[in-house]
A and B are shown apart, each in its own frame.
Chain A
Amino acid sequence: MHSEHYSGYRKNFSLILIFIVLISVLFILSLFLAYNFSKKFIENEFVSEKVKVLEESIKPYNEFFQNKVPEISYYNGYLDSATTAKFVDTILKTYPFVSKVVFYDLEVNNGPVRDGLNTGQFSLGPKLVYQFGDLVPMDSVKLFSRDETKKFNHRDDFNALGIKLISYVENLDTTKVPAQDELFTNFSNIRSNKITYLNIPRFEDLKIYKEMLRNKLHPSPVYQQDMLSFHMDPYKIRIINSRPLLYQNIRIEPLTYDPLNTSSEYIATEIALPGPFSDYKLYFISAKSFVDKEIRSYFIPISLVMLLFYSLLVLVAYLIFRNLNINHRMFKLQYDFVNNLTHEFKTPVSVIKIAGNNIKSAASLTERELKMYGKILDEEADKLNGLMNKLLAFTQIENNAIELNKDIVNMEDFIESTIESHTLKHPDFNVTYEVSGFSTFITDPVLLGSLFDNLAENAYKYSRPELKRLHITARLIKGKIVLRFTDQGIGIPAPEINHIFKKFYRIQNQYNQNGSVGLGLAFCKELVNYMSGEISVKSKVNKGTEFKIVLPYNN
């Protein structure tokens, strides 16, 4: 890492750190905002969702009011007590909030009646009055009969709607058919806890009603009208709590209900009921802690999603950091390689330059000098050539650009020629060998030669001068060729042992100050791989190193 400042390679850890810190701040900030949002949202929902609860709970009433009540008109005044009883039965069963129904069998006459309303020649009077309901005692079903002397007592609803009918008929525009909703409002009366409905006569009949107000008609017409008064019990409305996690308790309370003791432990809201229930309201109350639970249940998924995003970002940052690291090492290795290679080339080139200079500046050259310079030039050129071949071969082999040239190799001959060339170069190199189990096998002799050269070179190079020894064994074990190169050199420190086969890797020590590129062992590994074999190493510092190569045995 000491080369950082001049390598030009930038690796800014603080940048990554700042990034992590920023997103962490952002994360915490958004968590905070999300919590606030959830809280506001749930608090709003607490107020707004009451409409939904009201809609759901009041649905049966709307159905009753819009579908069931108009059904009375379908009977066109022909309703009798038996049919009404059946009709009311289904209503009481389906709509529990209807507690009692009073049925007025009315008659419209063109002359005065004793009980009822008389306006001009128009009169509306009850024939029979019945009441139905679960709590109505059997003996009080019939409330009034025209033929009996009992007084007509239950006039309240009758009068209200009767007067409404008469004033509507009085103002009736006989030239145009009235709209359905206009009729509905004029033939029904909605009061507190009560709906009264009068069957809507046909338009033709209404026109005659109008005439009956002023004139006596011949023959005197008689019309049947049915009036039903539905008594409602708002407390029987089935409350449908569509948000049980939001509203702890919903109940029906009078419109005036406003308890003083609502402490800060509770939050409450309310909404008025429609139509005949308008004196009542739905009262929603929840404990603060209960709402908090809902807030949490809303907040937790949000925060989990944010956490996921956050973790993703951190993971990405880490991956970027790791990539940077790897690239940095690669960059360093390549830089060292160029450095070493330059060194490597520098020596032969400077020798050649000196020899060339000497030859150029010398006035005359003796035979011996000529030979010496010739030898020097030749050797140094060979060195350069060798370096370049090595580099080339390595790139070729790395890119699978060469082909295997299979040939029969006699192991003993092969080892002996290798030893010979090395002892020729280094007379102080003591190489021994043994071959057992086989004598020949098929492989590429050139690749095998490179492998032997490299390993022998290394054994020589990394041994102390007095211990430049190498022992080569070649055995056939379990159908495989096992080659071992054992030296008594300086050994490889344990932490480095995993890196020695890497490209451009060099252990920093005195032995490889010059002439090492860090390619040798990487090259060996590539070669062995290429020959479908394996290479491994065992080493002890200052005791020696053993390379073991396993090759397939093809004979």
Chain B
Amino acid sequence: MYFCTLHYAMNVKLKLLLPVLFLLFCNACKPEKTVRIIPVADFFKSLDKSLYSISPDGKKLSFVQVQGKKQNLFVEDLATGTTEQITKFEEKNIKYYFWVSNEELIYYKEKAGAERFSDIFIIDRNGDNERQLSNNGRSRMRVLKEKLIDEKYLLVSSNRRDSSVFDVYRLNVRNGKMDMAARNPGNIIDWFTDSKGNLRLATSSDGVNQTLWYREKENQPFKAVVTNNFKSTFKPLSISEQNPNIVYAISDVNRDKCALVEIDCNKGKESKVLFSNDTLNVVDAQYSSSKKKFSFVICETWKKEKFYLDSNAKKLYSKLDQLLPGTESRIIDRDIAENLYVVRTFTDRNPGSYYLYDVKKQNVRKLSDFNPVIKESEMNEMKPVTFKARDGLKIQGYLTLPQHRNPVNLPVVVLPHNGPGNRNIWEYNAEVKFLANRGYAVFQMNYRGSSGYGKNFMAAGFKQWGGKIQEDIHDGVKWLINEGVANPSKIAIYGTGFGGYIALNSLYSSPGMYVCGGSNSGVINLFSYLKSIPPFLTPNLQMYYEIIGNPVTEVDYMRQASPVFHADKIQVPVFIAQNPQDPRSNSGEAIQFVKELKKRNVEVTYLEKEYSEFSPQGEDVRQKLYTALEHFLSNNLSGK
């Protein structure tokens, strides 16, 4: 898109531009401005203060603060300004927390040695009365409604009865007793409550089809409302308070792009479309429980945009835009009365800050910077680009160029995003900025199968991991070479998770295109990936078979598409990072893969990560990972 505009401008305004061009040419004669190499540590710092939250009554502000190796929960009294530390941990392991009443908070603490397993604790806002709520080491527990009912009950889902299904329990936080609120017949995958905490909505799945279940009152049985194929998006948001039997949902049933709709649960049909557009994909909607209506929907094209459904909300947010000009803002949290908001700002060049927005006083207070050492002037833009794949499908992506460099013949790092069902978004992305700062053009693309471009685009990527998705990446890189931006002999590909999978796959399916490739926690074997789906997700297995491939009936395709079988076809240097503790990966396979590459004298950089870089302890891992990646890329992309 950017290049088309540039080209157009040059044609039309050529005469006007000539003197300018001359000047530009003179500028080009001068040596390029040197770009300061920003240390890896600066890019991948952990936040000092994060996870801001406001108590329901709007009187307290809580946050998690890192002090050296410690990470603790703090509560600030907004009236007096005094801050109190309420947990006393020596390590970093608070993953998440929230207020359940004006007096109590619940936090998830990472279980030692077991990634993705957390213990749940409740604590008074002054740090007293800390109690562990989850007690069974084997089962998982999730809080369904982040609010205490009758000041003592918490609605949680847990698979303590059967590891593959989640039942709903009413957990008495005073004595830790759990009463089953709803027994899962075996296929329910999600539960929803209304604003009062009544369990009235559920979704079930047989693996391929998803059914919405509804009941008017808690003592009634659930009734099937509507059944949809998993290829359609149907995301219930909330149960209407004033209109009976109405459920709000984001749905693309019978349309390509998602819309915000009302479902009449008695009729089992869409009764009203609140927001819909043929080109815009609704990704989220903000419901105001105080005003009892939707404030806005968020649509995402190349970036997220708000579309207001309520004029009052529009006023509120335009005031916020006035107070925080030139930046994107997202609401992180708010109180019940909707007078106080925690706002997070950012642009593609600025990691942004946290603010506290007081609606009544019409002012903002800066809470902290996301990453104060990053200067906006040293960051380059993330430009949306579009190209056509060989079958004519329009693929969108982003290109971030290194600073102060002519966009000609640059070394490129292709950065396929993780998947399935993910996408690249327009944001400040430290990984992208880091690579751009090292002098590489960073090319991200939303290959088919990415979310956000409608259900057809999503479905086009099913079972195409070794096929059309790979072609999209190939075509994108070809396009970038034809545009003159990429130096065809200096292209690397790197990704995390399925991005790493795509990177490794590209090394053998597009031989000669990349000088090196890297995979971080990458999937290297689709069989193992499917095997690693935890038992509580087994109802979804059929769905995974549709998206990834069926290991029983499509062994050949799965084999062809799995890099682990093709170590003998990879000729260029490979970077592999993985966490052997990661239950989703089979670390032995990666090691066997590395061994085979080494036996063939392929240069391999292998990095073993102690933790996931996204865990609370991940800062060191991030530093190590990106330092190693920097060396790997500079060894293979410079020179030649």
* A75–B527 touching, CB < 8 Å: yes
Residue in chain B with minimal CB distance to A83: B555
Q: Which of A70, A180, A219 contacts B162 (CB 8 A)?
A: A219
* Cβ-based interface call for B636 (8 A): no
Q: Tell me the complex Cα distance, A77–B562, Å.
A: 15
Most chain-B CB neighbours within 10 Å: which of A70, A79, A183, A202? A202
Residues 65-82 of chain A, each 1 if its beta carbon lies under 8 Å from chain B, else 0 = 011001101111111101
List residues of chain A with CB within 8 A of the CB of B581. 177
What's the minimum C-beta distance from B584 to chain A, rounded to whole angstroms?
A: 10
Q: Given A67-B599, A219-B162: A177 and B580 within 8 A (CB)?
A: yes
* B555–A74 touching, CB < 8 Å: no
- 71-121 of chain A: CB within 8 A of chain B: 71, 73-80, 82-83, 86
Q: Which of B556, B565, B588 contacts A200 (CB 8 A)?
A: B588
* A74–B528 touching, CB < 8 Å: yes
* Cβ-based interface call for B525 (8 A): yes
* B528–A183 touching, CB < 8 Å: no
* A76–B528 touching, CB < 8 Å: yes
* B552–A180 touching, CB < 8 Å: no
Partner-binding segment picked from B42-50, B264-272, B448-456, B589-597: B589-597
* B559–A83 touching, CB < 8 Å: yes
* Cβ-based interface call for A466 (8 A): no
* B162–A218 touching, CB < 8 Å: yes
Residue in chain B with minimal CB distance to A79: B555
Q: Tell me the complex Cα distance, A218–B592, Å.
A: 34
List residues of chain A with CB within 8 A of the CB of B564. 74
* Cβ-based interface call for B583 (8 A): yes
List residues of chain A with CB within 8 A of the CB of B531. 76-77, 202, 205
List residues of chain A with CB within 8 A of the CB of B587. 177
Give the interface size class of chain B: 20 to 34
Q: Number of A residues contacting the other chain (C-beta, 8 Å)?
A: 26
Q: Tell me the complex Cα distance, A177–B528, Å.
A: 17
List residues of chain A with CB within 8 A of the CB of B482. none
List residues of chain A with CB within 8 A of the CB of B528. 74, 76, 202
What's the minimum C-beta distance from A249 to chain B, rounded to whole angstroms?
A: 32
List residues of chain B with CB within 8 A of the CB of A219. 162, 164
Residue in chain B with minimal CB distance to A180: B588
List residues of chain B with CB within 8 A of the CB of A67. 596, 599
List residues of chain A with CB within 8 A of the CB of B530. 76
Residue in chain A with minimal CB distance to B587: A177
Q: Tell me the complex Cα distance, A255–B551, Å.
A: 44
* B592–A180 touching, CB < 8 Å: yes
Q: Which of A66, A80, A177, A218 contacts B555 (CB 8 A)?
A: A80
* B589–A74 touching, CB < 8 Å: yes
Q: Given A67-B596, A177-B580, A180-B591: A78 and B586 within 8 A (CB)?
A: no
* B583–A80 touching, CB < 8 Å: no
* Cβ-based interface call for A204 (8 A): yes
* A183–B588 touching, CB < 8 Å: yes
What's the minimum C-beta distance from A274 to chain B, rounded to whole angstroms?
A: 18
List residues of chain B with CB within 8 A of the CB of A80. 552, 555
Residue in chain A with minimal CB distance to B164: A219
Q: Tell me the complex Cα distance, A200–B589, Å.
A: 10
Residues 527-544 of chain B, each 1 if its beta carbon lies under 8 Å from chain A, else 0 = 110111001000000000
Residue in chain A with minimal CB distance to B596: A67
What's the minimum C-beta distance from A96 to chain B, rounded to whole angstroms?
A: 19
* A78–B527 touching, CB < 8 Å: yes
Q: Tell me the complex Cα distance, A173–B155, Å.
A: 36
* A74–B588 touching, CB < 8 Å: no
Q: Tell me the complex Cα distance, A218–B531, Å.
A: 19
What's the minimum C-beta distance from A72 to chain B, rounded to whole angstroms?
A: 11
* B555–A202 touching, CB < 8 Å: no
Most chain-B CB neighbours within 10 Å: which of A74, A183, A218? A74
* A75–B555 touching, CB < 8 Å: yes
Q: Tell me the complex Cα distance, A205–B535, Å.
A: 11
- 276-333 of chain B: CB within 8 A of chain A: none
List residues of chain B with CB within 8 A of the CB of A177. 580-581, 587
Q: Tell me the complex Cα distance, A83–B562, Å.
A: 15
Q: Which of B532, B552, B592 contacts A202 (CB 8 A)?
A: B532
List residues of chain B with CB within 8 A of the CB of A221. 535
Most chain-A CB neighbours within 10 Å: which of B162, B164, B580, B592? B592
Residues 132-152 of chain A, each 1 if its beta carbon lies under 8 Å from chain B, else 0 = 000000000000000000000
Q: Tell me the complex Cα distance, A480–B588, Å.
A: 104
What's the minimum C-beta distance from A307 to chain B, rounded to whole angstroms?
A: 44
List residues of chain B with CB within 8 A of the CB of A82. 555
Residue in chain A with minimal CB distance to B531: A76
List residues of chain A with CB within 8 A of the CB of B551. 75-76, 78
What's the minimum C-beta distance from B136 to chain A, rounded to whole angstroms?
A: 15
* A78–B555 touching, CB < 8 Å: yes
List residues of chain A with CB within 8 A of the CB of B595. 66
List residues of chain B with CB within 8 A of the CB of A75. 527, 551, 555, 559
List residues of chain B with CB within 8 A of the CB of A78. 527, 551-552, 555, 558
* B589–A73 touching, CB < 8 Å: yes
Q: Given A67-B596, A74-B528, A78-B555: A202 and B565 within 8 A (CB)?
A: no
Q: What are the 7 tightest A-B residue pairs by CB atom distance, in nearest-first order?
A: A78-B551, A76-B527, A83-B555, A76-B531, A180-B588, A74-B564, A74-B525
Could you name 16 residue pairs across A and B whose Cβ atoms are closer than 8 Å? A66-B595, A71-B565, A73-B588, A75-B527, A75-B559, A77-B531, A78-B551, A78-B552, A80-B555, A83-B555, A177-B580, A180-B588, A180-B592, A202-B586, A204-B532, A221-B535
Which residues of A come within 8 Å of B, CB atoms?
66-67, 70-71, 73-80, 82-83, 86, 177, 180, 183, 200, 202-205, 218-219, 221
Which residues of B come within 8 Å of A, CB atoms?
162, 164, 525, 527-528, 530-532, 535, 551-552, 555-556, 558-559, 562, 564-565, 580-581, 583, 586-589, 591-592, 595-596, 599
Known: A74-B562, A76-B530; 14 extra A-B contacts, CB below 8 A, are A66-B595, A67-B599, A74-B525, A74-B528, A74-B565, A74-B589, A76-B525, A77-B531, A80-B555, A83-B555, A202-B531, A202-B532, A202-B586, A203-B583
